[in-house]
Amino acid sequence: MKPTLKFYLVLAGLGLNLALSAQPKLVDGVLAVVGKEIVLKSDLDQTAEAQVRQNPGLKVNNCQVFEDLLMEKLLLHQAALDSVEVGEDEVQANIDRRIGVFIQQIGSEAKLEQYYGKSILEIKEEMAPLIQNQLTAQRMLQEINGDVEITPSEVREFYESIPKDSLPLINAEVEYSEISIFPEITDQAKQEAIDKLKEIKDRIENGSSFSTMAVLYSEDPGSSRNGGEYKGIKRGQFVKEFEAVAFNLKLNEISEPFRTEYGYHIVQIQKKIGQELDLRHILIKPKISGEDLEKARSKADSIRTLILNSKISFEDAAQKFSGSEDSRLNGGRVMNQQTGDSRWEIGQLDKTVFYTLEGIEEGTISQPVLFRTRDEKEGYKIVKLIDRSEAHVANMATDYQRIKQVALAKKKQEVLEEWVNDKILDTYVRVNNDYLQCTFERQWLNNSSYAEQ
């Protein structure tokens, strides 16, 4: 197939592609070029490693991983041509959400850092370019098939096309809502935390090492063992109260104690390079007494009584009283971050929630139960079971929305494949000889250059 005019325009605008095409072989480490995007050997290795980390024991198909990367690069190349972009704030917010899920799955920030052998900040920095590419590719996908819709008749036609013995088994699931009550922090507890930090600050100013004090006293599991150190801090990475203090300190200056949602801190700036900081900090959390915790239990019980007596709805009570921000904004309904909806498979539930829901019927509200957040905050919650479904074979009566989502995804995939086949024809694609033996799902080699032996 002859190169199109667009091929020459793209090639002329990309010095690296032009340089590669002039050589008999691809540059070492470059596995493919798609338009203005490059697939590196390190991209393949990192993606394969991530798949194994998420699914221990998985036998990775390098050809499949390679084709997935080709697909991502095609989307990124077209996104650049169409000026489809994703902002840095969106990238950081996505990273924070993913880190939150990882921490919830593994148990704590310290365990996550131990697992990867890196600090939370280092993990975030490594994730940033990967997430930037993923979000940009997703945004391009939305441009391609975001307007695709499906009718009820198409959903039924899709369902009826599935052989009866191939219908999927839906695991037992629940939907639930919660109201979380955290103990009030007393003025005395706040002052004790502040006084402790002032004492530590005095010791540092009189010659003690900030790093040693952080190891001994800081209650931040993400940095205490590293002497309270965080490097390469940019705006938007920490809560605004923390940044308001840190970015206004002078070099080596130690702040006065200040408060964030995590507790009370002191901060010292180690290095400033433009708008980037290296710093150390010490966190002290105000102590919660047994009496404070009992007051939280009593408040949760009183709210339950108001709901049972029809003085207030569960949804309104959640919005008014709950300390869990994510569920509070949904009227108490807890969303599954892994799926994006409100249904939870039994195996996905937190142990406290699992045992609580086991003891109640649909539509009823539990007694207050003690729980602990991933950052070790204790409180009491009441839980309402909205719906429980037993394991069953998918059917139109109970699983219409789920079947609709699958049918719509299939239709979108068909639209995407048509788009890909069209774009491959007029996008420069160059593949390393080592991957020419792969059996691809798409026709990457129909319009491809490749390195000569």
CATH 3.10.50.40 residue ranges of the chain are 172-183+289-390, 187-284
Q: 70: burial class by Cβ within 10 Å (0-12, 13-18, 19+)?
A: buried
Distance CA 234, CA 275 (A): 6
Average pLDDT over every residue of 19-46: 72
Distance from C-alpha of 442 to C-alpha of 71, rounded to nearest angstrom: 9
Mean pLDDT of the chain: 86
pLDDT of residue 9 exceeding 70, the answer is no
- CATH match for 187-284 among 3.40.800.10, 3.20.20.80, 3.10.50.40, 1.50.10.20: 3.10.50.40
Rounded CA-CA distance 31/43 in Å is: 9
Residue whose entry in the numeric block shows the structure tokens 């590419």: 133
pLDDT at 209 over 60: yes
Can you tell me the mean pLDDT for 274-302?
A: 92
pLDDT 10s digits, 125-176: 888 988 999 999 999 999 999 899 999 999 999 999 999 999 999 889 999 9
Asked if the model's pLDDT at residue 183 lies above 70, the reply is: yes
Which CATH number is associated with domain 172-183+289-390?
A: 3.10.50.40
234-248: average pLDDT: 87
Is residue 382 within 8 A of residue 366, CB to CB? The reply is: yes
Under the banding of pLDDT at 50, 70 and 90, the label for residue 31 is very high
pLDDT greater than 70 at residue 452 = no
pLDDT, tens digit, for every residue of 355-409? 999 989 999 999 999 998 877 789 999 999 999 988 999 999 888 988 998 999 9
Sign of the C-alpha dihedral computed for residues 327, 329, 332 and 333 taken in this order: negative
Give mean pLDDT, residues 284-304. 94
Separation in Å, CA 64 to CA 59, 69, 123, 308, 428: 11, 9, 26, 55, 20
The bridge status of strand 276-284 relative to strand 392-393 is unpaired
DSSP string, 76-102: HHHHHHTT----HHHHHHHHHHHHHHH
Structure tokens at 23: 């050589």
pLDDT recorded at residue 447: 59
Domain covering 5-148+402-450 in this structure, CATH number: 1.10.4030.10
* CA–CA gap between residue 41 and residue 21 (Å, rounded): 18
State what percent of residues in the chain have pLDDT above 90: 57
Mean pLDDT to the nearest integer, 295-308: 97
The pLDDT value recorded for residue 12 is 32
Could you tell me the pLDDT band of residue 449, with boundaries at 50, 70 and 90?
low
pLDDT of the residue at 445? 83
* Residue 108 clears pLDDT 90, i.e. is over it: no
Question: What separation, in Å, do the N-terminal and C-terminal C-alpha atoms of the chain show?
Answer: 21
Confidence of residue 305 (pLDDT cuts 50, 70, 90): very high
CATH 1.10.4030.10 residue ranges of the chain are: 5-148+402-450
Beta strands 392-393 and 169-170: pairing type? Answer: antiparallel
Tokens of 60: 């990775």
The answer to whether residue 32 scores a pLDDT higher than 60 is yes
Query: Residue 382 belongs to what H/E stretch?
Result: strand 378-389
Q: Determine phi and psi for 239, rounding to 5 degrees.
A: -65, 150
